[in-house]
Amino acid sequence: MELRVSALRPFLGFLVLLLTPLSNARFVVEKNSLRVTSPDRIKGTYDSAIGNFGIPQYGGSMAGAVVYPNSNQKGCKEFSDFGISFQSKPGALPTFVLVDRGDCFFALKVWNAQKAGASAVLVADNVEEALITMDSPEEDGSSAKYIENITIPSALIDKSFGETLKRSISSGDMVNVNLDWRESVPHPDDRVEYELWTNSNDECGVKCDMLMEFVKDFKGAAQILEKGGYTQFTPHYITWYCPQAFTLSKQCKSQCINHGRYCAPDPEQDFSSGYNGKDVVLENLRQLCVFKVANETKKPWAWWDYVTDFQIRCPMKEKKYNRECANAVIQSLGLDLKKIDKCMGDPNTDSDNLVLKEEQDAQVGKGSRGDVTILPTLVVNNRQYRGKLAKGAVLKAICSGFEETTEPAVCLSGDVETNECLDNNGGCWQDKGGNITACKDTFRGRVCECPLVDGVRFKGDGYTTCEASGPGRCKINNGGCWHDAQNGHAFSACTDDGEVKCKCPPGFKGDGVNSCTDIDECKEKKACQCPECSCKNTWGSYDCSCSGDLLYIRDHDTCISKTASETRSSWVAVWVILIGLAMAGGGAYLVYKYRLRSYMDSEIRAIMAQYMPLDSQAEVPNHVNDERA
Ligand SMILES: *[C@@H]1O[C@H](CO)[C@@H](O)[C@H](O)[C@H]1NC(C)=O
Ligand SMILES: *[C@@H]1O[C@H](CO)[C@@H](O)[C@H](O)[C@H]1NC(C)=O
Ligand SMILES: *[C@@H]1O[C@H](CO)[C@@H](O)[C@H](O)[C@H]1NC(C)=O
C-alpha cells in the first residue's frame, strides 16, 4: 500500500483523496527465480522480487558468490568507508552482495554496493511478509542522480531465506547462487505485444523527465520493431474519475472532462494558475486518437513521432501545450486531423467517451498482469516490466519475449549490450594483450565463448583458456610459436600447411616455441666455404662475397666468372639440361603407358572373372572398356 501511494503521488498531488482510481488496485510483484547451487544443504529454488531500478538481465541468468559484509550490513553508507570491496578477482565468480532492508532507500543500498564492485544485490527483508517490489524513491533530487547510474540488477528475498543464507555464510560455506530472469517474460511466439502506460504531462518532475527521455531514446528501436512486424505496441493512458458527490465542485470541473468521468491531477498542483488536469486529459485523449487513426492506416509507429514532436514543439513551459500546437504537429506528420477530432468527441457531453472508457477498463489487470498503478509502466507479453526505464534495459526485456531464435536483428546488436564485458571482462578469458576476448555481450546476458578472430577459431572453455586452432592460426599471435624481428627483418617459427607447427625457420635452430637462435653459417661451415668465398654471418642468414671478378651464386654456393665465355658455356649447359629433360620425359611417358596398360588389363581381367572363369592368357576384347562405363 505504501508503495502504491508513493508512486502515484507525483501525479495525484493533493487530489489523491478526491480522485479515485478505478478499482481497488492490486500491485503485482514480478518475480525471478533464485537458485542456490551450493552448498548442498540449502540447494534449491527460491523466489525473489525484481527491483524497479537497475538493469535486470531479462532473458538471461547470472551466477555469483554471495557475500554478507561484516559491517555496513544495511548498505546505507559507502562500503569504501569500511575498507570493503566486492571486486571479484579475474576468473572468479561475480560477487552478489547480501544487505538487510531498512534505514535507507533500496536504491541507495544497491548504488553503494555497485560502487564497491558488486555485480548484483540481494536485499533481505526485515519482516515476514509476502515479497514486495523495491521501487525507486519518489522524486528527490539527490537520489535521482545515482538511480540513473545503477546498472546492476537487484532483488528482494524474504526474511527467512535471508537468514538461511547468512547462517550458511557465517559457518564458512561458499554460497553460490544463480539469478534467473529467463522466465520473467513469457516468450511463446515470434511476436511480442507490449504496452506503455504513459502520460502527456511534461511537468511532473523526475518521473516525467525520465519518461520523456525514454520515449525519445526508444523511438528508433520501437519503430524498427513495429515496421518489421516483430512487435505490436499499444500506448495507454491512465485516467481517474471524480466521485459522484464532487462532480460539480470547482476542482472536478477543472480536472475532468465528460462531467467528471475522466480526470487527471493538476500539473502544477495549483488550481488557480497554469494548466489544469483537464488539459492533460485532453492531450492524453488526443495521443490515443493519434494512435488509433495511425493504426487504422497501418502506420501505428507514427505515434512515436507524434509524441516526441509534441514534447519538443509544445511544452508547458513555453505555454504551447494546447490544441493549436498539437494540430500543427498532426498536420506536419500528414495525419488525418478530421478523423482525430472525430475520435476525440465532445469533452463537454454528459456521456462516455468510448476511447477513454476502453482505457479505464484496460487499467484493471485481467489474469496475470495486475492493475496498472505506477506511471510509467511497461507491460511486455502481459507481464509488468521491472527495472530502469532506459532503452537498453527495455529492449532487453522485449527481446526476451521472443521465442528463442526468432528475435530480430536489433536484439542482437549493440543496442542491448549489457556492458558486463567492461567489468572484469565479464570473468571470461582474454589474451595477454587484452584485445582478444571470450566475453560476448548479448541481450541474454554476457556469455564466455571462445571467439573467431580474422577467420581463426579459438577453442577452449571460454573462462580460463582459449587457444587458436585450425588453419590460419599463425595469423594470431604467431600460433604461440617463437617470433622475433631485428633490423626490419621479421621471422616466425609458425608453419601452417594444413597443420600448424612451430618449427624454426631456415637459418635458425631451436625448439620453435620458446626460442630459435641464429645459426652462424660461417662458423658451422654450412655455406660459403669455397676458396674464393668470404663469409659474414647475419641474423637468420649470411652474406657471401667472392674475391676478384667472381660472382657468388647462392643456389649453388659457389663463385663463377662473370665473363662472356662463361656465359656461352652456361647456354650449352642449359641445352644439355633441356635435352636431358626431354629424354627423361619421353622415357617416363613410355613407362607410364606400359604401366597403365598392364594395370587396365589386370582390372579388366578381375571384372571379367566375376562373370566367367578366364583362361590365364585369354584375349581381352577392346570394347569391354566402353561397356564398363
Ligand atoms: C552518473 O554518470 C554520469 C555519466 O557517466 C556522471 O557524469 C555522473 O557524475 C554520475 N552520477 C553519480 C551520482 O555518480
Ligand atoms: C491496431 O491494428 C491492428 C490491426 O491492424 C489491430 O489488431 C489492433 O487491435 C489495433 N490496435 C488498436 C489499439 O486499435
Ligand atoms: C592486439 O593489439 C596489438 C597492439 O596493442 C596489435 O599489435 C595486435 O595486432 C592486436 N591483435 C589483434 C588480433 O587485433
What does the pLDDT read at residue 624? 32
Same domain assignment for residues 351 and 274: yes
Residue 51's domain comprises: 31-183
Same domain assignment for residues 269 and 360: yes
CA nearest ligand 2 atom 11, residue: 295
What does the pLDDT read at residue 70? 92
What does the pLDDT read at residue 1? 29
Same domain assignment for residues 443 and 512: no
Q: How far apart are CA 128 and CA 611, in angstroms?
A: 92
Ligand 2 centroid vs 193 CA: distance in angstroms? 11
Q: Does any domain span residue 21?
A: no
CATH number, domain of 266, equals: 3.40.30.10
CA angle 457, 459, 462 (to 5 degrees): 115
Structurally, the chain folds into a number of domains equal to 5
Same domain assignment for residues 514 and 549: no
Q: How far apart are CA 277 and CA 386, in angstroms?
A: 28
Same domain assignment for residues 495 and 550: no
Same domain assignment for residues 178 and 205: no
What does the pLDDT read at residue 466? 87
Nearest to 5 by CA among 30, 33, 24, 32: 24
Q: How far apart are CA 562 and CA 547, in angstroms?
A: 12
The number of C-alpha atoms within 13 Å of 552 and in the hemisphere containing its C-beta is 17
Q: Does any domain span residue 40?
A: yes
Contact 295, 320 (CB under 8 A): no
Which bound ligand lies closest to the C-alpha atom of 303? 2
Q: Does any domain span residue 373?
A: yes
Same domain assignment for residues 284 and 425: no
Nearest to 290 by CA among 279, 277, 280, 300: 300
What does the pLDDT read at residue 370? 65
Q: Does any domain span residue 5?
A: no
Q: Does any domain span residue 575?
A: yes
Same domain assignment for residues 432 and 497: no
Ligand 1 centroid vs 149 CA: distance in angstroms? 6
| Ligand 2 pocket at CB < 6 A | 234, 292, 295, 300
Nearest to 375 by CA among 6, 7, 21: 7
DSSP 332-390: HTT--HHHHHHHH--TTSSS--HHHHHHHHHHS--TTS----SSSEEEETTEE--S--S
Ligand 3 centroid vs 275 CA: distance in angstroms? 60
Same domain assignment for residues 70 and 114: yes
User: Does residue 453 have its Cβ closer than 6 Å to ligand 3?
Assistant: yes
Q: Of the residues 105, 149, 151, which should be mutated to test ligand 1's pocket, given the most ligand atoms within 8 Å of the CB?
A: 149
What does the pLDDT read at residue 587? 66
What does the pLDDT read at residue 38? 86
Q: Does any domain span residue 14?
A: no
Ligand 2 centroid vs 376 CA: distance in angstroms? 22
CATH number, domain of 536, equals: 2.10.25.10
- How does pLDDT run across 197-232, given as a tens digit for each residue? 998 888 777 778 888 999 988 888 888 889 888 999
Residue 475's alpha-carbon distances to 302, 482, 485, in angstroms, are: 50, 13, 16
Q: How far apart are CA 87 and CA 627, in angstroms?
A: 79
User: Does residue 435 have its Cβ closer than 6 Å to ligand 3?
Assistant: yes
| Ligand 2 atom nearest to CA at 291 | 13
- Segments in the chain below pLDDT 70: 1-29, 91, 138-141, 365-370, 373-374, 413-420, 423, 442-446, 563-577, 579-580, 585-588, 590-629
CATH number, domain of 86, equals: 3.50.30.30
Of 144, 166, 183, which residue sits at a domain end? 183
CA nearest ligand 3 atom 10, residue: 435
Q: How far from the centroid of its chain's Cα atoms is residue 570's Cα?
A: 69
Which bound ligand lies closest to the C-alpha atom of 288? 2
